[in-house]
Structure 1
Amino acid sequence: MLTPLLISLGILLGFQSPMARGQTYAVVVGIADYQALSYSTGDLRFADRDARQVVDFLQSKSGGNVLASHIRLLTNRQATQATIEQAMTLFQQAGANDRVILYFSGHGLPDSFVPYDARPGDQRKLLTYAAIKAAFRASKALTKLCIADACLSGGITRQQTNRSELAKTGRDGSNVAMLLASRSTQNAVEDRRLAGGAFTYFLLKGLTGQGDLNGDGIVTIRELHKYVAPLVRKRTKGKQTPVFYGRFSDSLPLAYL
């Protein structure tokens, strides 16, 4: 049973039957080139590419044909703390039947993600988990998702406010769900042979068909987890374990192929 792993990713990403209703609003961030870093001091190689691939997927038929006007793509120097937080006000356009998504690929810290303009030792320029949760709370959408391909990203599940937020799930109809590249103590690996983050690579592979383990034309959350988690662990030689965290049934459909 995957009780803590049952997430509304499929609904959020627009993986829905033609009869389903509701819009998707997404902020997609990928930072490979940091203002204060170079390749020798910590710049990444593929985070911006991963973000563009996520947008391509969202705009595809299997990704829900999400409207371009409902997506904010921020890469590299566009992805400052201020612009990301401003972009997340997009979530306030969502109605109760809609879904909101934040995808972030870049550096992570125990309590935050790292925007383009972050400076070493300066806590004022970070995208904190608290700020993300505040942006989600400000949205009327009943389904909300944070996807992160970042080091230490599992730490977002350990915040003090998270326990009380999850306790409300099922009572007020509001759900915050997270698909995270690694545990709170692990790094997230970029793989040159895959030309991307290992987590995002296998996540997208799973959602575009390879995660349909029983061949019925539908990728469920249980199937996606069973597909992604072992492949990421194997590819990273056990150094990275994805965390899927939330509350939905194992049979939740994520993609109709």
Structure 2
Amino acid sequence: MRILGVRHSALQQSYVRILIIFCLLPFIHQACSNSRYASSHSEEVTHSIAKNVVEDTVNSRPDKLTSQFSPKDGKAVSFIKLHNIKGSHQIRWDWITPSGELYATSNDFLLRTRPGYERDHITAWHTLSIKDQPAATLPGKWKVMVYLDDKPLDTQIFTISPAKCPGVRGVGWAVIIGISSYQDTRISRLHYADKDAQALYEWIISPKGGKYAPERVKLLINERATGRNIKYLLNDWLKKALKEDKVTVYFAGHGSSESPESQGNYYLLPYDTEYDRISSTAFPMWDIETALRRYIRARKVIVLADACHSGGVGQSFDMARRAGRGVLLNNRISSALEGLSKVGDGICVISASDTNQFSQESERWGGGHGVFTYFLQKGLQGDADYNADGEVNLGELTPYLSQNVRRETENQQSPIVSGKFDPALTIGQ
């Protein structure tokens, strides 16, 4: 009986233990649920650093992921995504300076789901303002530490770069030329070259655009773009630029070789070019090379040319076409333009199209522009600002131009870039 009694007593204790455990299960489950993120399991939390957030009622997400920021960036965003979460939790962000001091804290935010309901995920984020704030003056490696229910959840490191030292900064000079109609009406008229030049001029002197001083920008359109005026600006006026300055030269108009037989002699066609005297009235490419070598002292030069509108201009070309000699595909003006980049380091030449291609213009691009200048404008206005730092440099602009012009023209026009230059160089100031 005693043995049976003992056994009975032990069985009773087992039943009591089971009952106690069963009764405590909901509380144990709730406690585990509330602490499941405190152990920082990587599979349960996603922590991203970005420049912005795309807010959506269903699925907000970080935008422009990066760990590198500049003093010009508006903010850094710490974006948290918690997976399979239930119950209520407190989340907090601490932003730590490179020296290890607490710069800012978010205090606690409440994350809550409906009782007994598990959500697939919850997103939350906090931002650190940088531009024009004290954070912009504290370069180095920062930390953002995230806590859940007062326990470490995750830490990310990011960098704010030092502000650029102004040093000796030059000014910008520009010569902008656009010729749609020619004095000699036998030279075929272009539709939008003058409009292209006008649009670039307005951007380059705009306080919100290129920020060039208007007195350092010369615009020659149609009848003002004579050979004499172009030569004066390149050989005399641009001599005022110092070596630390930047010079931009833009030409939209016809370009041609002397004749089908003289493919080594290339010219840009000023307004007063004569149809049957190209070699003596047009502007030789080697004169531009001379200006770059002998007269323009600036070590940063950008040449933008949209001059490949035909396979050759002038009487000799028309005679060859009428004779069926197939010169329409013989367009090497872009090769001649590319040669300008070999004058020296620091010269960037961007030609609107490749060899044996023709530059296109149409109303469908901005109501009437060449496709090259249309996307040049859009890129400079911010579409090519891939790193969102408020500036468009040549390293961003050139791939933007190439991709968009080729796409728009179905690969019939491909801008060409040549020269040894700093890709961080910008056209604007």
Give TM-score scaled by structure 2 length. 0.50
Cα distance change of structure 1 residues 162 and 206 upon mapping to structure 2, 3 Å threshold: closer
Cα distance change of structure 1 residues 214 and 21 upon mapping to structure 2, 3 Å threshold: closer
From 149, 156, 161, the counterpart of 2:306: 149
What is the DSSP-based 3-state SS (H/G/I as helix, E as strand, rest coil) of the residue aligned with 1:218? coil
Select the structure that is richer in strand. Answer: 2
Cα deviation per residue 1:210-237 (whole Å; 9 max; x = unaligned)? 1122434332323212211121112222
Please name the residue that 1:5 is paired with: none
Contact preservation (8 Å) 2:341, 2:349: no
Please name the residue that 1:117 is paired with: 272
In the TM superposition, what is the alpha-carbon distance from 1:87 to its structure 2 partner? Answer: 1.9
From 192, 202, 213, the counterpart of 1:46: 192
From 225, 233, 250, the counterpart of 1:103: 250
Give TM-score scaled by structure 1 length. 0.80
In the TM superposition, what is the alpha-carbon distance from 1:156 to its structure 2 partner? Answer: 2.4
Cα distance change of structure 1 residues 236 and 37 upon mapping to structure 2, 3 Å threshold: farther
What is the DSSP-based 3-state SS (H/G/I as helix, E as strand, rest coil) of the residue aligned with 1:104? strand
Contact preservation (8 Å) 2:210, 2:428: no
What is the identity, as a one-letter code, of the residue corresponding to 1:106?
A: G
Note the residue ranges of structure 2 that are not aligned, 5 or more in a row.
Answer: 1-163, 258-265, 309-331
Alignment of 1:24-39 (within 5 A): 24-37=172-185
Note the residue ranges of structure 1 that are not aligned, 5 or more in a row.
Answer: 1-16, 170-174
Cα distance change of structure 1 residues 66 and 162 upon mapping to structure 2, 3 Å threshold: closer
Aligned length, in residue pairs = 229
Please name the residue that 2:286 is paired with: 130
User: Which protein is bigger by CA-based radius of gyration?
Assistant: 2
Distance 1:72 1:221 in 2: 22
CA RMSD of aligned residues (A): 2.4
Select the structure that is richer in helix. Answer: 1
Q: Aligned pair 1:206/2:379, yes or no?
A: yes
Contact preservation (8 Å) 2:179, 2:271: yes
Cα distance change of structure 1 residues 22 and 188 upon mapping to structure 2, 3 Å threshold: same
Q: Aligned pair 1:254/2:426, yes or no?
A: yes
Q: Aligned pair 1:176/2:347, yes or no?
A: yes
From 193, 201, 207, the counterpart of 2:364: 193
Contact preservation (8 Å) 1:34, 1:77: yes
Contact preservation (8 Å) 1:202, 1:232: yes
Distance 1:238 1:126 in 2: 30
Cα deviation per residue 1:38-80 (whole Å; 9 max; x = unaligned)? 7xx6201111111111111111235442112111111101111
Cα distance change of structure 1 residues 183 and 256 upon mapping to structure 2, 3 Å threshold: closer
What is the DSSP-based 3-state SS (H/G/I as helix, E as strand, rest coil) of the residue aligned with 2:426? strand
Identity in percent: 31
Cα deviation per residue 1:157-216 (whole Å; 9 max; x = unaligned)? 454x764x24xx2xxxxx222111011322111122111111011011011111122434
User: Structure 1 stretches (4+) deviating beyond 4 angstroms?
Assistant: none
In the TM superposition, what is the alpha-carbon distance from 1:145 to its structure 2 partner? Answer: 2.1
Please name the residue that 1:3 is paired with: none
Q: Aligned pair 1:241/2:414, yes or no?
A: yes
From 209, 213, 219, the counterpart of 1:67: 213
